[in-house]
Structures are given as C-alpha cells and as structure tokens.
Amino acid sequence: MNPVIQRRVGVWVMAASAAFAALPAMAAEPKIGVVDFQRLAIESPQGKAVMESMRAEFAPRERTLQAQGQAVKAKEEKLQKDGATMSEEQRARAEKDLRDGARDFERAKGEFQDDMNARRNEELSRLQRTIVEEVRTYGKAQGFDLILAQEGVIYNASAGDITPAVLAALQAKGGSTAVAKPAAAPPPAPAKPPTK
C-alpha cells in the first residue's frame, strides 16, 4: 500500500475511533435552559434602576422641550387669530418668529432624541452584560450544558425556562449594577416666552 494512503487511512481510523469513543458522552441527555432577556431587563432591580436613572436624567430637558413646543403652538395660534388684523410688517415679523421658533424646537427635539438614544444604548449594553454574566453564573452553578435566549427559541416547554431563577438571583443582588453618570451636556436653551 502506498505510504501516503496508509498515513491517511491511519489518520481517518484514529479520528473515527475518537468520534466513536465520544458517543457515550454525547448520548447523555444535555441540560438545556431558556431565558427571557427582555423580562429580566424589565423586571430586575438593575433594569428598573437603569430606567429610573434615565427618567431622572432626561425629565428636565423633556419638560423644557414641552414648554418650547407649547410656545411654538401659541405663536401659531396667535398668528392665525390675529393675522388678518396685523400690518404687513407685523405679520412678516410674526411669521419669521414662528418659523425660527419651530426650527429651534425641531432642532432641540432632534438633539434630545439623539442624546436619549445614545444614553439608552449605553445603559442597556451595560445592563445586558450584567444579565449575561448572571445567566452564565447560574448556568454553571446549575450544571446547564446550553442556555438559549427566548427570542431565538421556536418552542419551549416551561420546564426549561430559567428566567424566574435568574430574576431571583438578580433581585438578591439588588440594584447593584452601577448606572453610568452621563457626560456633562450643555444646558438646553430656555424656551422663549410667547410674544403678545
């Protein structure tokens, strides 16, 4: 027999032997769990702390933005109501003021949304790492071979759902996930009071 072929056959025989030797280990029933990350993010103290922190951080800017929007609406209503009785110059000035106010409002609203989305993504990423670490810790401690995210599972008997156990572990730790302090943002421009 050709020495090259003989070596290949030998390698194949060794690989097949290793595969057959591993069969009994693979025949054991694997322990598989499923976890609902969305539920953990919403119901865990860590997730609640992130949401409360986000609310507290963005509430003042949201109130300022709402006041700015109401001021623009008031200018628009005043222009519609009094526009017919205004001089050409007054009407042009009121329309310009309305356009400027609406443009400033839209810009501020876009900046607010961008800032809020960036912070949310940052905090949710941190929260996800905490949850994944807790799932790994729980999985190792309970002897799971595989843990899947609920979002990727087509069918799951509730017996394999470890979400309540991981949630209990997160609750036992409390809101220990450190919520990052936001970078100093420039203060929002105060809303201009409506002109009369």
The reported pTM is 0.62
pLDDT tens profile 141-195: 999 999 998 887 767 777 778 888 899 989 998 865 554 454 444 444 444 444 4
**Assigned token pair, 167:** 């949630």
pLDDT tens profile 59-84: 999 999 999 999 999 999 988 998 88
Q: What structural domains does the chain harbor?
A: 29-173 (3.30.910.20)
The answer on pLDDT for 96 being more than 70 is: yes
Distance in angstroms (rounded) separating the CA atoms of residues 36 and 152:
10
pLDDT tens profile 132-141: 999 999 999 9
DSSP 8-state secondary structure symbol assigned to residue 28: S
Q: Of all residues in the chain, what percent carry a pLDDT higher than 90?
A: 49
Residue 123: CB atoms within 10 A of its CB come to 21
Q: How far is CA 177 from the centre of its chain?
A: 15
The predicted model gives 76-104 an average pLDDT of: 91
